[in-house]
Amino acid sequence: MGLLSLSAVVLAVSPPSLGKAGSRQTLRYGVASPRAPVASEKRAASAAPLAAAADPERAVFRAPEDGVAKPPTPGHRIPGILLIKNIGALYAPERVHARHVLVVGDRIAALFAGDEDAWAWEQTAASVIDADNAAVAPGIVDVHVHITGGGGEAGPASRTPQAELSRLIRSGHTTLVGITGTDDVSRSLENLHAKCRELNELGLTCRMWTGSYAVPVQERFTMTGSVRRDVALIDEVIGVGEIALSDHRGTQPSTREIAAVAADSRIGGLLSGKGGIVHVHMGPGDEGLDPLFKVLETTDLPISQFLPTHMSRTSVLLEHGQKWIKMGGCIDMTAGNATVKALQAYASAGVDLSRVSISTDAYGSLPRFDPSGKLIGYAAARPETMLETMARLVEAGWDVEDALALGTSRPAAFVGLKGKGRVAVGYDADLMVFDADTWRVRAVVARGEQVAGEDWVRGGMFETGDGVRPYVPGGPAR
């Protein structure tokens, strides 16, 4: 019904306020006769979420002046409106004292503390999720996911599989950035780009890094002929990475070569309004961050242009990470036990943790090499490690909001993903409902649409399994 629905049932929900004798403002409902919306109504409907963003304390929609003051027709549901009610704890990721979240389209339209406001919207919402006192937080923002698979360091049989939609959703992921890694021979950016678009079509938000471990980035491993053009011209490309430094699997680039690729990505970002970040794979080599320190010492490139990852890998990287943060930079760590210990150590040392994020390296390989460089072990990273790491931090005494920020608001800010990683009016409606005690995900909303519930999850077209509802092209999941 689209715009007609919005003109047929228009609600004005105001927060508690004092009028005469301290009375509370009442809820007003305007019901108009069905008719084609005029141009002004179309503009008002399309601008409704923006109006909420500008004035979050007020209603999303206002009653028409000629509206009839009576409740909407029972059972009349407006498509595109979703209500998450009865929230036990709302994290934005900081704690917010609200019990209900209203979603209109793909944006968060309002946060309600009172049950009366939520009840009014429940009568017209097309979808309602009862959190039943569970916690709600932003969906996971993971900036380092091998969505087409990774690995290959132990031969063709060691190539890891591509990401599965249902598994990503069940682990709370709503936004991710795809990456290539070591193998730029049998893997391609075209395949990575297609997978990125697939995940977008399936309901998540996916972006990608151009390039691979190699520096200089070879023309054959871009999509337009250069890093600059990839970032500037391809919507999904937000920067270059993961270029490998201090690692025997890297191309051992010079300071000038590192600076050149960073400058290319930066200019592409400036031309397209993106971050143009250089995402840097840090290996176990003794140099640590020295290659990046040299770039900063010899060029005008800002430290904010780089986001080094795997920073909990060695004691050298942890030491250099403290220096990097003091210089105004941000770092990323790979989810897991080593990162829990590293973050605890940083907290004890008084390091500014607001400049630290975590990512999963999901579907990438986790090879282990002996001191001589011989491969002695192999595994694949899992998307579930993000929530597992957050849970371990809370068990160690961290506040829930501080643990959540590591994989939601911080990574979104570090790489320039606008509208992501927060529960706030005007932000994208990417939300997860979870048990605060067990960190079990109970429901997920991505871009305003529910993609998982207690006993079901959206899957790709060819996915099967208990509770998996495969995606149907041109329509909602079955």
Q: Which of 142, 361, 428, 430 is catalytic?
A: 361
pTM value surpassing 0.75: yes
pLDDT at residue number 408 = 99
Report pLDDT for 385: 98
Q: CB pairs under 8 A, 24+ apart, for 369-372?
A: 369/248
Residue range 55-78, pLDDT digits in tens: 333 333 333 344 333 334 555 678
pLDDT higher than threshold 60 for residue 286: yes
For 307, phi then psi, to 5°, come to: -130, 95
Cβ–Cβ < 8 Å for 112, 131: no
Three-state DSSP at 129 gives: strand
**112: helix, strand or coil:** strand
In DSSP notation, 397-450 reads T--HHHHHHTTTHHHHHHHT-TT-S--STTSB--EEEE-TTT--EEEEEETTEE
Mean pLDDT of 429-458: 98
Q: Where is average pLDDT lowest: 62-66, 119-123, 314-318?
A: 62-66
Dump pLDDT digits (tens) for 167-214.
Answer: 999 999 999 999 998 889 999 999 999 999 999 999 999 999 999 999
d(CA 236, CA 377): 34
What CATH architecture does domain 140-415 belong to? Alpha-Beta Barrel (3.20)
Peptide bond into 15 cis (omega under 30): no
- Position with higher pLDDT, 88 vs 369: 88
Residue 304, helix vs strand vs coil? helix
User: What percent of the chain clears pLDDT 90, i.e. is strictly above it?
Assistant: 72
DSSP state of 156: G
Q: Average pLDDT, stretch 328-356?
A: 98
pLDDT over 90 at 27, yes or no = no
Lowest mean pLDDT segment, chosen from 56-70, 106-120, 445-459: 56-70
- The pLDDT tens digits of the residues spanning 380-428 come to 899 999 999 999 999 999 999 999 999 999 999 999 999 999 999 999 9
Residue 306 clears pLDDT 70, i.e. is over it: yes
Give the pLDDT of residue 474: 72
Average pLDDT over residues 324-332: 99
Average pLDDT of the chain is 86
Asked whether residue 454 carries a pLDDT value surpassing 70, the answer given is yes
Predicted pLDDT of residue 98? 97
Alpha helices in 82-129 (DSSP H): 115-122
Identify which has the larger pLDDT, 15 or 348. Answer: 348
Over residues 28-42, the mean pLDDT reads 33
150 vs 72 pLDDT, higher one:
150
Residue 50 pLDDT > 50, yes or no?
no
Q: Of 459 and 50, which is predicted with more confidence?
A: 459
Q: Where are the domains of the chain?
A: 140-415
Q: Is 361 a catalytic residue?
A: yes
Q: Which two tokens stand for residue 218?
A: 């070879």
Q: Is the sign of the CA dihedral 439, 440, 442, 448 positive or negative?
A: positive
Residue 476: per-residue pLDDT: 52
Q: Give the pLDDT score at 376.
A: 83
Sign of CA dihedral 272, 214, 386, 454: positive
Collapsing DSSP to helix, strand or coil, 206 comes out as strand
Measure the CA–CA gap between 260 and 257, rounded to whole angstroms.
Answer: 5
Given strand 107-112, what is the order of strands in its sheet? 107-112, 100-104, 78-85, 125-130
Whether the pLDDT of residue 233 is over 60: the answer is yes
pLDDT at 372 over 60: yes
CB atoms within 10 A of CB 259: 21
Residue 320 has pLDDT above 80, yes or no: yes
Rounded to 5 degrees, φ, ψ at 309 are -125, 175
- SS3 (DSSP) at 366: coil
Residues in the chain: 478
pLDDT reading at 270 higher than 70: yes
